[in-house]
Amino acid sequence: MISKGLPGFRDFPPEDFALRAHIFRVWREVAARYGFEEYDGPPLEPLDLYTAKSGDEIVGQLYNFVDKGDRQVALRPEMTPTLARMVGARANGMKKPIRWFSIPQLFRYERQQRGRLREHFQLNCDLIGEAGPLADAEIIALSIDMMRGFGLGPQDVRVRVSDRLFLSSALRQLGIADAMTPLVFQAIDRIEKNAAAAREMLDAHLDTVTVAGVFRLTDPAHRAELRRSISAATHFGAALNALDEMGFGEWIDFDPTIVRGLAYYTGTVFELFDAKRTLRAICGGGRYDTLLGSLGGADLPALGFGMGDVVLGELLKDRGLHPSVGASIDVFVAAVTPADVEHVLKLSHELRDAGLRVEFALNTQAVGKQLNLANARGARLAVVIGPDDRARGEVQLKDLVYKTQEAITDSSLASHLSSLVNDSRLTTPNG
RNA sequence: GUGCCUGUAGCUCAAUUGGUUAGAGCGCCGCACUGUGGCUGCGGAGGUUGCGGGUUCAAUCCCCGUCAGGCACCCCA
């Protein structure tokens, strides 16, 4: 009896792997367009890499254990500490800003739900060494272009953006002490999901008038007005304007309830959601100017985002934007009689050497069955070889799509097939 | 970690208020079809009804436990 896989861990049979490969491909293509270079690190790290500074939120759900050398280790729950270590070790010699991305598999020990497993792949894009607002615009633009790369538009995905500095100063104007800011952030983070709980948190620490002020600040009805109050002279205002100029204005929703849970964000924060809001966040990120220094790496301003493959995959399936499973071969080579198999083997390998994807029957089968298999594989072409053909130095070439057949001389076959297949690859989607 | 809901063939679902040997469609395999494909017809394989226990003459159905999945919390990548 083969035991089941662990809860929250996935198998990837070919039809699922195709989606994953598609997602990775788009991630890499788009990242490359922004000049980002790919890096990676170990999936298993010393436990203290995460318990040291990263924030207690993550530590509670670490997938950790003691290895055979009595070391406390953890499967990586996030990439940032690893990134900080790598950058810290070599930042002095690197031209700034640093544009790096990675697609790590991350792990968390928590109860799974749709869009949230114990393991996922997460695109991490980070821009290190630039404090100015164009860096903020650049990283948000990158996240938006990722969506465009999958065929998603502003009607599918919304980018909700805020700025912790902006929010802090707004809270200060309400008379809230700086010491209270983290708690108020936490309450604001919950307003949308559970307004009653948020109000309870605030009521416990603030007077009624101030609480009302916080709710007014985050009220969707006042958002347009609040957005107009953000001066272009501020970092946040300049970043928003830059996104407008990049042509991404219609994706952006300024939303002061976005603060994000992680304690280390220092400025811009943003999240991407599907427009129908039926799924969890597709992407989240922000500016973390003090984190790298506090982790003991280089003291550089930085910002970045993480985008998981699970929610994104759900969204692509919902919208019919996932890749269909394409043909696995170009050509099927069929033998009419056992005496033809020798010839089939020889020809098949000539075609494989020419770069074509080729399959043939591994046992003796009627020609009809072999063609049936060719169709099931999605082959564009089939070559049928029988005793009569061999006697004439020919093979029968069938086009399985157009249902045509012609005799071809054996010697000219490889180049003939290559050109046919290359044509059809250009014109067939997902081929 | 907490609460609620759901587990029947590879997939989607049936099965009379508890009643004989748990069925169907799709898919898979075979045959009609020994030199020509997607159709059609016929046939076949595939189930400890998630698992364990209990109640009962009798359990897919009721009860308990457990595991898994979904939803909401918690938290957030």
Q: Between the CA of A1 and the C1' of B14, what is the distance in angstroms?
A: 29
From the alpha carbon of A262, which nucleotide's C1' atom is closest? B76
Query: What local confidence, expressed as pLDDT, does residue A53 receive?
Result: 62
Tell me the domains of chain A and their CATH numbers: 14-318 (3.30.930.10), 331-426 (3.40.50.800)
Q: Between the CA of A348 and the C1' of B11, what is the distance in angstroms?
A: 35
Total Cβ atoms within 10 A of residue A75: 19
ipTM: 0.84
Q: Which nucleotides of B are covered by protein (CB under 7 A)?
A: 1-2, 28, 30-31, 33-38, 67-77
From the alpha carbon of A398, which nucleotide's C1' atom is closest? B36
From the alpha carbon of A373, which nucleotide's C1' atom is closest? B37
Q: Between the CA of A110 and the C1' of B1, what is the distance in angstroms?
A: 9
Q: Between the CA of A7 and the C1' of B63, what is the distance in angstroms?
A: 28
Q: Please choose, from the candidates A324, A27, A319, the residue with its C-alpha nearest in 3D space to the C-alpha of residue A155.
A: A319
Non-local CB neighbours of A301 within 8 Å, separated by 6+ positions: A128, A129, A130, A131, A135, A287, A289
Residue with nearest Cα to nucleotide B34 C1' = A366
Q: Between the CA of A16 and the C1' of B27, what is the distance in angstroms?
A: 18
Query: What local confidence, expressed as pLDDT, does residue A59 receive?
Result: 66
Q: Between the CA of A314 and the C1' of B26, what is the distance in angstroms?
A: 24
CA A354 to chain centre: 34
The secondary structure element, H or E, covering residue A130 is none
Query: What local confidence, expressed as pLDDT, does residue A425 receive?
Result: 60
Q: Between the CA of A126 and the C1' of B63, what is the distance in angstroms?
A: 56
**Structure confidence by residue, pLDDT tens digits, A62-108:** 888 888 999 989 999 999 989 999 998 888 899 999 999 999 999 98
From the alpha carbon of A285, which nucleotide's C1' atom is closest? B77
Q: Please choose, from the candidates A78, A44, A38, A72, the residue with its C-alpha nearest in 3D space to the C-alpha of residue A58.
A: A78
From the alpha carbon of A189, which nucleotide's C1' atom is closest? B76
Q: Are A92 and A297 in contact (CB under 8 A)?
A: no
Non-local CB neighbours of A191 within 8 Å, separated by 6+ positions: A198, A215, A218, A257
CA A258 to chain centre: 21
Query: What local confidence, expressed as pLDDT, does residue A431 receive?
Result: 33
Rounded Cα–Cα distance for residues A118 and A128 (Å)? 29
Q: Between the CA of A369 and the C1' of B32, what is the distance in angstroms?
A: 14
From the alpha carbon of A119, which nucleotide's C1' atom is closest? B77
pLDDT string in tens for chain A (431-residue length): 456 678 888 888 888 888 999 999 999 999 999 999 999 999 999 988 888 765 555 667 888 888 899 998 999 999 998 999 999 888 889 999 999 999 999 998 888 888 888 999 999 999 999 999 999 999 999 999 999 999 999 999 999 999 999 999 999 999 898 888 888 988 898 888 888 888 888 888 888 889 889 988 888 888 888 999 999 999 999 999 999 999 999 999 999 999 887 778 899 999 999 988 888 889 999 999 998 888 877 899 999 999 999 999 988 988 888 887 778 899 999 999 999 999 999 999 999 999 999 999 988 889 999 999 999 998 999 999 999 999 999 999 999 988 889 999 887 888 888 887 777 665 443 33
Residue with nearest Cα to nucleotide B69 C1' = A113
Query: What local confidence, expressed as pLDDT, does residue A123 receive?
Result: 96
